[in-house]
């Protein structure tokens, strides 16, 4: 094991060709490389490499045409720079990328490449897709130091194998992204969020499922259990459970749908409605897991399950280990903080398995915990073998972020 | 000699000689009636929706369970026999056309809906279920399955996954890959893997994304978990006629630019309007150079609001004809013309349907150039396509019984696809590469790009038995496919041999 200490070498290529040369050289010498964007998303297993390659020098918006709703961007471009360009054209990423800084206590500037590499997605993911669903094309340097392109800049493309999707969420283990092309969308005119109070988890998830079974186009469906509710909007919601439904669109349409949902759920008591500025802040906090930003020493898990299953798993974890949780994606995404301070990875995985299956990822933990607790869900053997072969097809020597996803 | 004729892999004589052994190995793992070997019965499987090419397979098997598929794959990979997976056989690019030394694995018997989970808005189905039957099964409960390829009545979900099928409504709801939550898949050697339990993102690398659109080359999908969506309160199309394609194209760009995302924006040119109107009597404006069908969804009030905005934009682009549907019957009629476009064209002439996709800003230019190309070959084309996402479908009309004209049509098609790539687009938006566009792949991707795909393909199928004639140019595979591609056969040589 190579300790990661101050002797790490930081390499900052200024373009794709130089990066390719660096990777080729590393491949020739069998020397592992850690791949970094802004360094703000420090989850997964620690990488054992003496050299870190940063893509931050490979930066800049290559082409952004609001009329086509497509942006091609170099990987090292700060997310904030692209965001500013989108704001100018009144557009947005539909997948609401999570900013991990407050949860992980990291500093620096998230890059577009890092956002894609971790498939960073937010509350709208459950209706509008993840980052991978908005990703139209990639350029990357594979583990042999070759420059590869896949996909393109058009909305529909089935020409050959889709390597675009697996690049999203591969944490730099298949290739080093150098340029990505993303679909963007006009911002809606306005938004509002309805809040139902006092529901237990199971009832809240049932209410959200009911809302999603109606044609009211709910684009955010979250539930904050007791106490967690007090951690958003500076405590403005109070600590009572809050079940949240977001509506977006033209104002008249938002109002119409809000009235319909209020009528539908009126028997559950008074339903509050918060307006656009507050609603935007609220969903940004849910996106960034703000309720668990405090107590940074306590591990945080991300459970992805069927919406009606996750709360059962959470209930079991609360009883057995002392955990806090809140839900996004109609209940299918549970953020779970282990209040006892231990990761309890065996228990977490067993509990997910026993409650309908899905997967659990350890997002926040100390470096040594991330090394030994297996942050990503272990695969069954046939799948693990297949994944191994696929990794070899991109990076035969295993020099790119070795160990980040699989030890 | 037909220079454009698409080559197939040369049948392996050692496989043809072992035919009886291969058949008995299949009968050992399947009921007798699930193994088809009679040449007359095999005829039904010799081609697909790309009917210009046909080959008789060695045999066809009709498994009923994932375990049977696994047993078949175990037996065939052991004997290194090529396998061509098949759903309903509606592929427009020859994706399901067999070859003489291949066994077709037809999944049409696996057509059960296994689970409808409304609280989690998903359906678990077998691969042979037809696209439309999923929506039909859940319609009464207020849901639907969104991707809606024109062939949705016949095509199977397994085929949709293989081709990552789209449809008219994917502008809002996405294509197959955006609506797929999980699969059960049999690998080349009979290994069964499961991806996803119904959660939104399966663990590990995004293998679902890789498998979707892999044209039956990575494995055989036997089950799928797909997303269900609540049906909109209502849907209403409006029809616009324009005096030029440019005006129609600019109108599309402005609708999208205004922050309105209709569920569908369909485009037809003069030729297509005439053909569809003659067939469907939908009341299409015969004097228009370009027609748009724009569909919006929502409550009556929301639709009226959106349509108001859209009509206003259309007026800014000198729209000549506006037809708003006043009833469900009128709405259905507007769609009937569009949905029957391929069938109606087939009554007028034989055609090949292109599927290139271009950036929205290039639509008008590519349309004009497409017209120039077909004219150069002395042919006609009708254009029907999904304008909201730049997915063009020029139908090149020709006479299938005239070999010279067929050759011209194929060449014109190839020129159009190169044009799409050169305009910043791609060869195929939703039909797939198959055999049809295989040899054009080098126009879109360089050798390194293709080699990376081929290496990934080999990670799934190291012996290269899964749908081997498709997608990747036969030249340039090197030894990666075991040298099979070195000597291909063209139709010309096949016809000479017969």
The answer to whether the Cβ–Cβ distance between A154 and B426 falls below 8 Å is yes
In a domain, B462, yes or no: no
Residue A2: pLDDT band by 50, 70, 90 thresholds?
Answer: very low
**Is the pLDDT reported for residue A231 higher than 80?**
yes
Note whether B180 and B312 are same-domain residues.
Answer: no
Contacts B177 to A, Cβ<8 Å: 133, 162, 165
Average pLDDT on B326-349 reads: 88
Q: Which of A130, A166, A206 is closest, CB to CB, to B210?
A: A166
- Residue B367, domain CATH: 3.30.70.2740
Rounded average pLDDT over B460-471: 95
Sheet (strand B321-324) strand order:
B321-324, B235-242, B290-297, B264-269, B380-386, B394-398, B350-353
- Please, where are the H alpha helices in B212-269? 245-257
Structure token pair of residue B134: 């999923």
With bands split at pLDDT 50, 70 and 90, how would you rate the model's confidence at A4? very low
pLDDT band at B493 (very low <50, low <70, confident <90, very high): very low
Considering the domain architecture, whether residues A262 and A299 belong to the same structural domain is answered as: no
Bridge partners, A179 (sequence order): A74, A139
Q: How confident is the model at residue B480 (pLDDT cuts 50, 70, 90)?
A: low
Helix (H) or strand (E) holding A62: strand A61-65
Are B386 and A119 an interchain contact pair (Cβ–Cβ within 8 Å)?
Answer: no
Residues B265 and B197 in one domain: no
Helix (H) or strand (E) holding A328: strand A323-328
Over residues A99-110, mean pLDDT: 96
Domain match, A170 and A218 both:
no
Structure confidence at residue B484 (pLDDT): 61
Pair (B52, B125) in one structural domain: yes
Closest by Cβ to B457, choosing from A70, A161, A307: A161
From chain A residues 346-375, the ones with a CB under 8 A of any chain B CB are 356-359, 361
CA B295 to the chain's CA centroid: 22
**pLDDT for A76 beyond 70:** yes
How many CB atoms are closer than 10 A to CB B109? 15
- Choose the closest CB to B299 out of A132, A150, A256: A256
Partner B contacted by A376 (CB < 8 A): yes
Instruction: Tell me whether residue B332 is in a domain.
Output: yes
Query: What is the structure's pLDDT at A181?
Result: 98
Rounded Cα distance, A116 and B36, in Å: 47
Q: How many residues does chain A have?
A: 407
CA distance A377 to chain B (A): 6
**Hey, are the CB atoms on B210 and A163 less than 8 Å from each other?**
yes
* B207 contact A CB<8A: yes
Last-in-domain residue among B341, B358, B382: B341
Q: How many CB atoms lie within 10 A of CB A340?
A: 12
CB contact (8 A) between residue A358 and residue B197: yes
Q: Identify the pLDDT of residue B4.
A: 54
pLDDT-derived band at B488 (thresholds 50, 70, 90) equals very low
Chain A residue whose CA is closest to B422: A152
CATH number of A116's domain? 3.30.465.10
Tell me, yes or no, whether A371 and A395 share the same domain.
Answer: no
Task: Indicate whether A97 and A109 sit together in one domain.
Answer: yes
Inter-chain Cβ pairs, chain A and chain B, closer than 8 A: 266
A100 and A209 part of one domain: no
Q: What are phi and psi of A371, to 5 degrees?
A: -70, -40
- Specify whether B48 is located in the same domain as B153: yes
**Which residues of chain A from 35 to 74 reach within 8 Å of chain B, CB to CB?**
65-70
Assigned domain for B484 exists: no
Number of domains in chain A: 3
- Selecting from A163, A215, A257 the residue whose C-beta is nearest the C-beta of B453 gives A163
Interface test with B, best of A155, A312, A353 (most B CBs within 10 A): A155
User: B220 to chain A nearest CA, in Å?
Assistant: 15
Give me the residues of A, 180-239, that contact B with CB < 8 A. 185-189, 206, 209, 212-215, 217
Is the same domain home to A368 and A384? no
For range A299-307, the mean pLDDT: 98
- How do residues B185-220 score in pLDDT, each as one tens digit? 999 999 999 999 999 988 899 999 999 999 999 999
Same domain, B151 and B295: no
Answer whether B262 touches A (CB < 8 Å): no
Q: What ipTM does the predicted assembly reach?
A: 0.96
The 8 Å CB, 24+ separation contacts for A373-381 are A373/A343, A373/A345, A374/A45, A374/A345, A374/A407, A375/A43, A375/A44, A375/A45, A376/A44, A376/A45, A376/A405, A376/A406, A376/B203, A376/B204, A377/A349, A377/B203, A377/B204, A378/A349, A379/B203, A379/B204, A380/B193, A380/B194
Instruction: Give the residue numbers spanning the domain of B264.
Output: 235-341
CB contact under 8 A, B201 and A155: no
Residues B113 and B31 in one domain: yes
Specify the residue for token string 């350890």.
Answer: A362
Report pLDDT for B479: 66
The three-state (H, E, C) secondary structure of B467-498, written as one string: CCCCCCCCCCCCCCCCCHHHCEECHHHHHHHC
A31 SS3 class: coil
* First-to-final CA distance of chain A: 12
R_g of chain B computed on alpha carbons: 23
Q: What is the pLDDT of residue B478?
A: 66
H or E element, residue A275: none
List of chain A residues whose C-beta atoms are within 8 Å of the C-beta of residue B466: none
For residue B204, report the phi and psi dihedrals to the nearest 5 degrees.
75, -160
The CATH number of the domain holding residue A355 is: 3.30.70.100
Which of the listed residues B414, B436, B458 is the one where a domain comes to its end? Answer: B436
Distance from A239 to chain B by nearest Cα, in Å?
27
Residue B295 maps to which CATH number? Answer: 3.30.70.3450
**Does A304 lie in the same domain as A328?**
yes
Is A158 in contact with B391 (Cβ distance < 8 A)? no
| CATH number of the CATH domain containing B88 | 3.30.465.10
| Cβ–Cβ < 8 Å for B124, B394 | no
φ, ψ of residue A267 to 5 degrees: the values are -70, -15
CB atoms within 10 A of CB B384: 26
Same domain, yes or no: B268 and B289: yes
Percent of the residues in chain A that have a pLDDT greater than 70, as a whole number: 98
Residues 6+ apart with CB under 8 A from B5: B490, B491, B492
Query: B371 and B288, same structural domain?
Result: no
Q: Is B69 helix (H, G, I), strand (E, B) or coil?
A: helix
Domain identity same for B179 and B278: no
Q: Are residues A356 and A268 in the same domain?
A: no
| Any domain includes B56 | yes
> What is the arithmetic mean of pLDDT over B310-315?
96
Q: Please judge whether B261 and A213 are an interchain contact, meaning their C-beta atoms are less than 8 angstroms apart.
A: no
Q: Do B166 and A164 touch (CB under 8 A)?
A: no
**Domain end point (choices B387, B402, B436):** B436
d(CA A244, CA A123): 11
Q: Are A165 and A313 contained in the same domain?
A: no
The average confidence (pLDDT) of chain B is 92
Q: Which of A256, A287, A318 is the last residue of a domain?
A: A287
Collapsing DSSP to helix, strand or coil, B132 comes out as helix
The dihedral sign for the CA sequence A23, A27, A31, A36: positive
| CA–CA min distance B498, chain A (Å) | 33
A117 → chain B, closest CA residue: B205
Q: Are residues B184 and B279 in the same domain?
A: no
Q: What are phi and psi of B316, to 5 degrees?
A: -65, -20
Angle subtended at Cα A33 by Cα A28 and Cα A37, rounded to the nearest 5 degrees: 135
Please give the pLDDT value at position B496. Answer: 38
The rounded distance, in Å, linking the Cα atoms of A41 and B211 is 28
Is B418's Cβ below 8 Å from some Cβ in A?
no
| B39-65 confidence digits (pLDDT tens) | 999 999 999 998 888 999 999 999 999
Token pair belonging to B119: 């609280």
Q: Is residue B206 part of a domain?
A: yes
The overall average pLDDT reported for chain A is 95
Q: Which of residues 245-274 of A touch B (CB under 8 A)?
A: 250, 252-253, 256-257
* C-alpha gyration radius of chain A: 21
Out of B143, B429, B458, closest to residue A393 by CB: B458
Which residues does chain B have within 8 Å of residue A142's beta carbon, measured at their own beta carbons?
A: 452
Print the domain residue range for A318: 290-376
Going by pLDDT thresholds of 50, 70 and 90, the confidence category of residue B445 is very high
Residues of B whose CB is below 8 A from A155: 171, 357, 388-391, 429
pLDDT computed for residue A407 by the predictor: 81
Question: Rounded CA gap, B101 and A361, in Å?
Answer: 46
> Confidence class of residue A105 from pLDDT cuts 50, 70 and 90?
very high
Say which residue, B320 or B343, is predicted with more confidence.
B320
Q: Is residue B492 part of a domain?
A: no
State whether A215 and B230 contact (CB < 8 Å).
Answer: yes
Q: Please indicate if any CB of chain A lies within 8 Å of the CB of B93.
A: no
Question: Within this chain, do residues A132 and A245 fall inside the same structural domain, yes or no?
Answer: no
Q: Return the residue of A nearest to B457 by Cα.
A: A161
Q: Is residue B186 included in any domain, yes or no? A: yes
Judge whether B469 lies within some domain. Answer: no
Sheet holding A300-305, edge to edge: A271-274, A190-197, A242-249, A218-224, A323-328, A333-338, A300-305, A358-364
Residues A166 and A116 in one domain: yes
Which of B142, B201, B252, B471 should one mutate to test binding to chain A, selecting the residue with the greatest count of A CBs within 10 A?
B201
Nearest Cα neighbor of B414 from B1, B6, B26 is: B6
Q: Is the pLDDT of residue A214 over 80?
A: yes
**DSSP structural state of residue B228:** -
- Tell me: pLDDT of B494 over 80: no
Q: List all residues of chain B from 266 to 305 with a beta carbon under 8 Å from chain A.
A: 297-299, 301-302, 305
Q: Per-residue pLDDT for B298 more than 50?
A: yes
Q: Check whether residue A178 and residue A314 sit in a common domain.
A: no
Determine whether the interchain pair B361/A379 forms a contact, defined as Cβ–Cβ distance below 8 Å. Answer: no
The whole-number pLDDT of residue B1 equals: 35
Residues B47, B194, single domain; the answer is: yes
Whether B433 shows a pLDDT value over 90: the answer reads yes
Query: Quick check: B497 pLDDT over 50?
Result: no
Residues B55 and B182 in one domain: yes
Helical packing angle, B341-348 and B328-339, nearest 10°: 50
Predicted local confidence at residue B483, as pLDDT: 60
Torsion angles phi and psi, residue B425, rounded to 5: -110, -150
With CB atoms and an 8 Å threshold, state whether B187 touches A142: no
Sign of CA dihedral A307, A308, A309, A313: positive
Distances in whole angstroms, Cα of residue A92 to Cα of each of A71, A182, A186, B171: 11, 11, 6, 17
Q: Do B427 and A159 touch (CB under 8 A)?
A: yes
- Is A165–B208 a contact, with Cβ atoms under 8 angstroms apart? yes
Q: What tens digit of pLDDT does each residue of A173-185 get?
A: 999 999 999 999 9
DSSP H stretches of helix in A213-333: 251-265, 276-287, 307-321
Q: Which of A240, A258, A287 is the last residue of a domain?
A: A287
Using an 8 Å Cβ cutoff, are A340 and A295 in contact? no
Q: What is the structure's pLDDT at B482?
A: 60
B119 touching chain A per CB within 8 A = yes
**How far is B151 from B90, CA to CA, in rounded Å?**
7
Contact between residue B357 and residue B429 where contact means Cβ atoms under 8 Å apart? yes
Distance CA B408, CA B377 (A): 6
Q: How many folded domains does chain B comprise?
A: 3
Task: Outline where DSSP puts E strands in A206-255.
Answer: 218-224, 242-249
Distance to chain B for A41, nearest Cα, Å = 17
Which residues of A98-241 form beta strands (DSSP E)?
Answer: 135-142, 147-151, 175-183, 185-186, 190-197, 218-224
Residues A239/A227, Cβ–Cβ less than 8 Å: yes
The mean pLDDT of B138-143, rounded to a whole number, is 97
Cβ contact (<8 Å) for A67 and B391? no
Q: Any idea of the CA torsion for A96, A99, A104, A106, to the nearest 10 degrees? A: 170
């Amino acid at each position: 094991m190579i300790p990661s200490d101050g002797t790490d070498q930081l390499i900052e290529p200024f373009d794709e060709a130089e990066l390719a040369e660096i990777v080729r050289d590393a491949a020739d010498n069998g020397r592992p490389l850690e791949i970094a964007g802004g360094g703000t998303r420090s989850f997964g297993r620690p990488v054992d490499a003496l050299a870190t390659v940063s893509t931050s020098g490979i930066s800049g918006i290559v082409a952004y045409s609001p009329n086509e709703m497509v942006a091609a961007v170099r990987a090292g471009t700060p997310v904030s720079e692209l965001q500013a360009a989108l704001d100018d054209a009144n557009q947005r990423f539909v997948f609401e990328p999570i900013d991990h800084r407050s949860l992980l206590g990291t500093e620096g500037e998230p890059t577009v490449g890092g956002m894609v590499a971790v498939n960073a997605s937010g509350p709208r993911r459950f209706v509008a897709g993840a980052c991978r669903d908005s990703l139209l094309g990639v350029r990357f340097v594979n583990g042999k130091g070759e420059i590869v392109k896949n996909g393109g800049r058009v909305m529909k493309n089935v020409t050959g194998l889709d390597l675009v999707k697996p690049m999203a969420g591969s944490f730099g283990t298949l290739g080093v992204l150098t340029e990505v092309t993303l679909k963007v969308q006009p911002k809606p005119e306005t938004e509002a969020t309805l809040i139902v109070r006092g529901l237990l988890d199971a009832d809240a998830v049932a209410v959200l499922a009911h809302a999603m079974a109606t044609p009211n186009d709910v684009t955010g469906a979250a539930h904050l259990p007791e106490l967690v509710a007090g951690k958003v909007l500076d405590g403005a919601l109070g600590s009572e459970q809050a079940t949240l439904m977001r509506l977006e669109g033209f104002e008249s349409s938002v109002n119409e749908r809000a009235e319909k949902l209020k009528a539908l759920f009126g028997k559950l008591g008074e339903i509050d409605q918060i307006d656009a500025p507050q609603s935007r802040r609220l969903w940004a906090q849910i996106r960034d897991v703000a309720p668990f930003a405090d107590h940074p020493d306590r591990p945080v898990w991300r459970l992805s399950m069927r919406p009606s299953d996750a709360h059962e798993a959470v209930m079991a974890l609360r009883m057995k280990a002392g955990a806090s949780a809140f839900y996004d994606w109609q209940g299918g995404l549970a953020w779970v903080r282990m209040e006892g301070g231990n990761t309890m990875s065996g228990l977490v995985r067993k509990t997910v398995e026993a409650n309908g299956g899905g997967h659990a990822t350890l997002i926040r933990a100390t470096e040594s915990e991330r090394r030994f607790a297996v942050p990503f869900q272990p695969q069954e053997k046939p799948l693990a073998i297949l994944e191994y072969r696929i990794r070899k097809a991109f990076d035969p020597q295993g020099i790119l972020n070795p160990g980040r996803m699989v030890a | 000699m037909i220079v454009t004729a698409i080559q197939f892999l040369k049948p392996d004589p050692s496989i043809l000689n072992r035919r009886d052994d291969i058949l008995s190995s299949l009968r050992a793992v399947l009921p007798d009636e699930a193994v088809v070997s009679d040449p007359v019965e095999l005829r039904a499987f010799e081609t697909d929706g790309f009917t210009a090419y046909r080959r008789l397979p060695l045999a066809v098997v009709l498994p009923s369970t994932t375990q049977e598929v696994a047993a078949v794959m175990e037996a065939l990979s052991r004997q290194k026999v090529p396998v061509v997976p098949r759903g309903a056989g509606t592929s427009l690019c020859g994706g399901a056309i067999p070859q003489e030394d291949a066994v077709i694995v037809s999944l049409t018997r696996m057509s059960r809906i296994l689970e409808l989970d409304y609280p989690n808005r998903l359906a678990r189905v077998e691969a042979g279920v037809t696209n439309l039957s999923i929506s039909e099964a859940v319609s009464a409960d207020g849901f639907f399955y969104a991707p809606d390829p024109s062939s949705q009545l016949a095509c199977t979900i397994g085929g949709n996954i293989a081709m990552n099928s789209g449809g008219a409504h994917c502008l809002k709801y996405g294509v197959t890959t955006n609506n797929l939550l999980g699969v059960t898949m049999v690998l080349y050697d009979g290994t069964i893997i499961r991806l996803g339990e119904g959660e939104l993102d399966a663990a590990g690398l995004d293998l679902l994304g890789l498998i979707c659109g892999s044209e039956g080359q990575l494995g055989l999908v036997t089950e799928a978990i797909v997303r269900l969506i609540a049906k909109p309160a209502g849907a209403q199309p409006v029809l616009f006629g324009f005096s030029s394609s440019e005006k129609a194209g600019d109108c599309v760009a402005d609708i999208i630019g205004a922050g309105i995302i209709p569920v569908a924006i369909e485009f037809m040119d003069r030729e297509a309007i005439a053909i569809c109107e003659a067939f469907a009597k939908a009341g299409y404006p015969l004097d228009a150079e370009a027609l748009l069908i724009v569909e919006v969804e929502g409550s009556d009030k929301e639709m009226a609001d959106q349509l108001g905005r859209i009509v206003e934009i259309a007026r800014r682009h000198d729209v000549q004809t506006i037809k708003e549907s006043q009833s469900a019957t009128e709405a259905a009629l507007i769609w009937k013309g569009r949905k029957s476009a391929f069938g109606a064209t087939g009554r007028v002439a034989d055609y090949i349907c292109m599927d290139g996709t271009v950036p929205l800003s290039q639509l008008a230019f590519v349309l004009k150039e497409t017209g120039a190309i077909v004219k150069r070959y002395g042919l006609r084309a009708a254009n029907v396509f999904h304008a909201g996402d730049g997915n063009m479908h020029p139908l090149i009309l020709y006479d299938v019984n005239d070999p010279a004209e067929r050759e011209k049509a194929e060449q014109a098609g190839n020129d159009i696809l190169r044009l799409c790539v050169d305009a910043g687009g791609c060869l195929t938006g939703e039909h797939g590469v198959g055999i049809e566009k295989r040899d054009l792949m080098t126009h879109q991707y360089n050798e390194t790009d293709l080699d990376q795909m081929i290496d990934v393909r080999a990670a799934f199928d190291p012996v290269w038995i899964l749908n081997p004639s498709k997608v990747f140019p036969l030249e340039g595979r090197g030894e990666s496919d075991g040298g099979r591609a070195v000597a291909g056969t063209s139709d010309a040589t096949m016809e000479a041999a017969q």
